[in-house]
Amino acid sequence: MNRERIGWTGLGNMGTPMVKNLLKAGYTVEAFNRTREKEQEAIEAGATSAADLKTLGANNDVVFVMVSDDEASKEIFSTENGLLSGDVSGRLFINVSTVSPDTSKHINELCISKKATFLEAPVSGSVKPAQDGTLIILAGGEKSDYERAEPIFKNLSKMSVLLGAVGTGASAKLAINYFLALTVQGLAETVQFATDSGVDAADMLNIINEGAVGSAITKLKTPSILNNDFPAAFALKHMFKDLRLAKEQQLNSPLSTPLYESFKAANNDGLGNSDLMAIYKHLKK
């Protein structure tokens, strides 16, 4: 049995497989999800269920948060009725959600005010790497906190890196997701262009995947395009949120505005809960 008791809130597409890997590694995990039924899979894998966020924060040594966005993170880290509302001195809080650098810095201050410590640790990689424990963790914070978290990170990731102070991890995450959005948009536009010109989609995807521009992501998304089926691994609404955060960080490069507008239109089109590759479905319209 590993020594640090782990608390975890946010049992969505990413949180649940990550918790299962920690349980597999022998950690005790206490879990809490706003929609309580979604705790079931983690409980069946050996987690216990916390009464509320206050208990989760006070009962555990290291507490992870994996929720949608800035608003959800701020709500969860509330000192009134959230994770930080009890006695949390000496606890380490780790936000693995994707949020803005400013939100990360705000949460860091709240943790310090409660004599706890904080690491931001957004992850690169989707559901499959979360299941396989092969995520890439982009941390920002104090070295001592990072070293405390490292043995836990080893069960979630193939690589973790401490980039600097709180804010640097969030910035790196927004940057890598910009590249991901460019790739997915580029793949969708390319297949659309080819099929409009009479080329079969399967042939075009084969050419892409066997050539130098083929990548893990183009291969992963190929079945979705061919089957016109986009179950969310990484929901399009979350990518839209990440592009909005990047724009708020003054990303003004030539493709950033049309890319942002494309995901915004797809989200408004009702595709937010589909996988981000549903940008293809949006373009086809």
Q: What positions carry a catalytic annotation?
A: 173
CB of 190 to ligand NAP, least distance (A): 22
Choose between 86 and 272: whose C-beta lies nearer to ligand NAP: 272
Interface with ligand NAP, residue 13, by CB under 6 A: yes
Among 36, 28, 27, which residue's Cα sits nearest to residue 9?
Answer: 36
Q: Give me the least distance between CB of 234 and ligand NAP, in Å please.
A: 3
* 214 touches ligand NAP (CB under 6 A): no
Among 55, 59, 68, 79, indicate the residue that binds ligand NAP (CB under 6 A): 68
- Considering only 64, 93, 234, 263, the residue that binds ligand NAP (CB under 6 A) is 234
Task: Please say whether the beta carbons of 272 and 239 come within 8 A.
Answer: no
Nearest to 164 by CA among 113, 201, 119: 119
- Helix H or strand E encompassing 227: helix 216-227
Say how many residues touch ligand NAP, by CB under 6 A.
26
The residue (of 238 and 282) whose beta carbon lies closer to ligand NAP is 238
96, 125 contact by CB (below 8 A)? no
190: left (phi over 0), alpha (psi -120 to 50) or beta: alpha
If one asks whether residue 33 binds ligand NAP (CB under 6 A), the answer comes out as yes
- Choose the binding region for ligand NAP from 8-16, 145-153, 160-168, 261-269 (rule: CB under 6 A): 8-16
- Quote the CA–CA distance of 63 and 16 in Å, as a whole number: 14
Inter-CA distances, 247 with 105, 174, 180, 241, 259, Å: 18, 10, 15, 10, 11
Q: Which is nearer to ligand NAP, 208 or 239 (CB)?
A: 239
Stretch that binds ligand NAP, among 28-36, 183-191, 202-210, 253-261 (CB under 6 A): 28-36
Candidates 25, 28, 34, 55: give the one binding ligand NAP (CB under 6 A): 34
Residue 250 touching ligand NAP (CB under 6 A)? no
Report the alpha-carbon distance of residue 174 to residue 254 in Å, rounded: 16
DSSP-based three-state secondary structure for 120: strand
- Residue 78 within binding range of ligand NAP, rule CB under 6 A: no
For ligand NAP, the nearest residue by Cβ is 12
- Chosen residue from 110, 188, 235, 277 binding ligand NAP by CB under 6 A: 235
Sign of CA dihedral 60, 74, 230, 136: negative
Cβ 94 to ligand NAP, closest distance in Å? Answer: 13
238 binds ligand NAP (CB under 6 A): yes
Over the range 214-227, which residues count as b (16 or more CB within 10 Å of their CB) and which as e?
Answer: beebbeebbebbee
Q: 136-156: buried (b, 16+ CB within 10 Å) or exposed (e) per residue?
A: bbbbbbbeebbebbeebbebb
Candidates 6, 7, 8, 14; binder of ligand NAP (CB under 6 A) is: 14
Q: Cβ 121 to ligand NAP, closest distance in Å?
A: 11
Interaction between residue 141 and ligand NAP (CB under 6 A): no
In the structure encoding, which two tokens stand for residue 279, read together?
Answer: 């940008």
- Can residue 97 be called a binding residue for ligand NAP (CB under 6 A)? yes
